[in-house]
Structure 1
Amino acid sequence: MNEYADLLIIGAGPAGMAAALAAAPSGARIVMLDDNPLPGGQIWRDGPQANVPDQARRLRERLQSCSNIRHHAGTRVIASPGPKQLLVEDDEDGWLISYDKLILCTGARELLLPFPGWTLPGVTGAGGLQALIKAGVPVQGERVVIAGSGPLLLASAATAKKYGAQVQRIAEQASRTAVAGFAAQLPRWPAKWLQSFSLFDRHYRTATHVLAALGTDRLEGVRLQQQGKIVELECDRLACGFGLIPNIQLGQALGYAIEGQALAVDAWQASNRADHYAAGECTGFGGSELALVEGAIAGHAAVGDLEAARQLWPHRARWQGFAKALNQAFALDPQLKSLARFDTLVCRCEDVPYAALAGHTDWREAKLASRCGMGACQGRVCGGAVQHLFGWQPSAPRPPFSPARIETLMCLDDTPPA
């Protein structure tokens, strides 16, 4: 099966949804791909215990009402066999999609930094804990510690408490001064300011970070450095996330330029490649509000409605201000680079410890010598960690970008020669 799209959108989170809706009035044939069952991305994730906001429901209804938008759920990009062509796969089939314009809205993932005990059962990411709870994992009565950096810690704690968990501590690595300075700016964004009151928790501690997860066969406790003192707490779950990093792997493979850790775009959300755009957190973390307006700008620009895109620039600038304040306040303390010991695993898939990486000069050299990043996650976890620890930029992935069936790969035989 082959398919054609005037506009192909990869990712159906806030940015992807907004891009599709902005472009829809043009009458273009729009195809959206996402690996989740329903639009909404990670922030509006569904599940038996998920409480999807009204805003997400309204956007879904609008998407369903547009006859020129086709949404492929549970679908992954496997390869890019030719210019403006992707090989994709869902749970039943694999097929080729050709396109005229492309918008990447691939979002972000948690930065997980290695520390002693981080691979014990019971240790997850902060966002990972939210996802597990929404999927129906029971936490009633469990003692939970949440550590790392950023507002996601408070959101994760609120979700855990809602479903009966006992939150023992929220350990924020940023200083009290930094957090207070950020809080003082929140009235510039009234909705965020009001939300902050609902997320307040008396167990929140600044200048506090995890040192080790304790236990043998599973998590039994956590050791923290809390405002200069060592503290140990018994717990059943430790949720630890050090902010978000953009998902740029597909963009790298397609030849997008990289700026810092994100895909580089101009004022129209256009990349260095003609007819290729990007929006949302793959271009830098800034929250759902920024993702929505960036997606709308990209959608308008991709179908040639530049005036509609331009009118959204002030709105984008407002939320870029929020993103800048957020990222400055919760910048990671350099001492977090020393959490891992020599025997601490950095690459869980291939059992590669910190000691096997410390003597190398770049990602490629370390990968060839240790197999770091060559396991099932293809460097999605350890890649962010080594970038933070050593400053190495992970190389662009090679196809297949995700595990694929042989039948799907055989679709490449249908690709016309270049």
Structure 2
Amino acid sequence: MMELNFNGTDICAINGTRSPAEAHYDIVVVGAGPSGIAAAIEAAESGASVLLVDENPVSGALMGNDVPLYFGGRMTAATQNSDRMLEAIFMSMPAIETAMDAGVEVLLGTTAWGVYRNGPGVASLPEQLVGLADGERSWMVSFGGIVLATGARDLAMAFPGWNQPGVMGAAALQMLLSRYDAFAGRRVLVLGSHDLALETALLAHERGIEIAALVEVRDAPQGSAELLARVEAAGIAIRCGQVITLARGGVDGVSGATLSGGEEVVCDTICVAIGLIPSIELVDAMHGARALSVTRGGYIPSSEPTVSAVGDCAGLADIGFDHIAYRMEWMRGLSAVSAPDTIICQCEEVTRADLIGVQPPNYLTRPPAMCARSLETLIADGPPHPDQVKRLTRAGMGVCQGRRCRDQVAMLLAIEADKPFGTIPLASHRAPVRPLPLKIIADWHETEAMTAAWDVWFGIPTQWVPVQDLGTVHEEEHRQMLYTGMYE
């Protein structure tokens, strides 16, 4: 017999127990880049109530965990000054003020960590909700439509010595230089020679940073003729047909690098500029968005509840060549010079040998049965799935939430299985899609309906016993009362 409240409904039911949203907006835009601001302004000018959220300025703690970009520990102490960082955002992004003048409500330094909509497995939400958090608290707002303009993140690739301060991504370097003016390096070695690498090298050069060289795995530079001409005019060398074989380190991290041609390069920063990955964590954590609309420009959602993606998170622009083949060529080149003990997942210290051997990290015990398994046993059942490998090895379970290893794990599995990269899925995302302290994400107001049955929320008999009675003589009393229907 279930316990009923005064309305005659089961107090263990989820319906009606959700915390209310703090506010409602016709449109919520996540990401204040050019595409997100354009979408927010268009929606506001159409008469919609619009909330624009952006996680910048990113806290120094998140940057230290390489979230949302691969900062590699090369930011200055200025990133710890929140007021200074906020001022830098407004100075480098004047379009934010334009959006505010158009009637858009803007929240900076605010993370969107999850989007929730009714669908398979979820039918109790009163409205569509997006979870937000800043440095102090977490809360929910409801929306009619949501526009994701979350941009792109860096593709990280492992090589000997990459797991130390000073190895970073191109998008992170560009942000530190152009948005925050907070880059701590002085001499940079850039991996790659396509437009991303060339643009990053030129930006750093213009800001007074010395470029040691660009390194290209292919036998010829891959970028556009116009950018290559500018790089040549700047006197920046490109080393073709080579990869990095070692990042040497010191007290402050990277101090130099060795190339496969034998050259020793002095540098304090190694910038991985091989490619970018659309930031689709929010969509993926929803298990695929229904009625998803995609565009590379601004977008005004329709009157129907929608999830829209704009800008780089909707897919990178056509870069004129097979970027998958290019990235796989880099992965094979770096794998050829990487020893078995090369770290793949920095957070969990999973090595290349651990990944291929499907072993947990060294801080966990490895009984004989576990030591006997390998990737071959998984491949025999079909293409290996990174989610399965993640559970067995913990690769991707760390605080960076797989941003440094998610894509390269799939690439390595494709190589080991001798399968095209597209046949290997990527590890899935789950909310929260940003690492949040428990004191922030748990600090929610609970309704009386939630409090009434918090310890038995799903009606499972073993959860019916209050915590204070577990392990006492009263535990069995509760069980008997449940089974005999004595609970009123």
Asked if these proteins are the same fold (TM beyond 0.5), I'd say yes
In the alignment, the residues of structure 2 paired with residue 52 and residue 280 of structure 1 have an alpha-carbon distance, to the nearest angstrom, of 23
In the alignment, the residues of structure 2 paired with residue 334 and residue 118 of structure 1 have an alpha-carbon distance, to the nearest angstrom, of 18
**DSSP 3-state at the match of 2:36:** helix
Q: Is the 8 A contact 1:343 1:355 kept in 2?
A: yes
In the alignment, the residues of structure 2 paired with residue 31 and residue 95 of structure 1 have an alpha-carbon distance, to the nearest angstrom, of 14
In the alignment, the residues of structure 2 paired with residue 73 and residue 415 of structure 1 have an alpha-carbon distance, to the nearest angstrom, of 32
Q: Is the 8 A contact 1:17 1:63 kept in 2?
A: yes
**DSSP 3-state at the match of 2:38:** helix
* From 270, 279, 294, the counterpart of 1:265: 294
Q: Is the 8 A contact 1:349 1:375 kept in 2?
A: yes
The one-letter amino acid of 2:110's match is T
Match of residue 98 from structure 1 = 142
* From 46, 56, 63, the counterpart of 1:36: 56
Match of residue 349 from structure 1 = 347
| 1:7-55 alpha-carbon deviations (Å, 9 max, x no partner) | 11111112111111222221100111110039xx98xxx9879999999
Match of residue 248 from structure 1 = 280
Q: Is the 8 A contact 1:150 1:330 kept in 2?
A: no
1:6 and 2:26 are equivalent in the alignment: yes
Match of residue 467 from structure 2 = none
| 1:345-393 alpha-carbon deviations (Å, 9 max, x no partner) | 1110111101111144221221112211111111121112212322443
**DSSP 3-state at the match of 1:219:** strand
Distance 1:85 1:167, change over 3 A: same
Distance 1:383 1:333, change over 3 A: closer
- RMSD of equivalent CA atoms: 3.8
Match of residue 439 from structure 2 = 406
Distance 1:49 1:416, change over 3 A: closer
Instruction: Identify unmatched segments of 5+ residues in structure 1.
Output: 184-192, 287-322
TM-score, scaled relative to structure 2: 0.63
| 1:49-77 alpha-carbon deviations (Å, 9 max, x no partner) | 9999999755233212112x111111112
1:386 and 2:409 are equivalent in the alignment: yes
Task: State the aligned residue count.
Answer: 353
| 1:206-245 alpha-carbon deviations (Å, 9 max, x no partner) | 44432221246532321223xxx33222222222232101
Alignment of 1:369-384 (within 5 A): 369-384=392-407
The one-letter amino acid of 1:247's match is S
CA drift of 1:414 comes to 5.2
Match of residue 203 from structure 1 = 236
| 1:117-150 alpha-carbon deviations (Å, 9 max, x no partner) | 11123222233334444443444xx432111343
The one-letter amino acid of 1:160's match is A
Q: Which has the greater radius of gyration?
A: 2
In the alignment, the residues of structure 1 paired with residue 446 and residue 87 of structure 2 have an alpha-carbon distance, to the nearest angstrom, of 44
Q: Is the 8 A contact 2:115 2:282 kept in 1?
A: no
Instruction: Identify unmatched segments of 5+ residues in structure 2.
Output: 1-20, 59-67, 70-77, 119-127, 358-374, 376-383, 415-423, 451-488
* From 292, 312, 318, the counterpart of 1:281: 312
1:62 and 2:98 are equivalent in the alignment: yes
Match of residue 239 from structure 1 = 271
**DSSP 3-state at the match of 1:358:** helix
CA drift of 1:341 comes to 2.7
The one-letter amino acid of 2:235's match is R
In the alignment, the residues of structure 1 paired with residue 25 and residue 228 of structure 2 have an alpha-carbon distance, to the nearest angstrom, of 41
**DSSP 3-state at the match of 2:96:** helix
Distance 1:102 1:344, change over 3 A: same
Match of residue 216 from structure 2 = 172
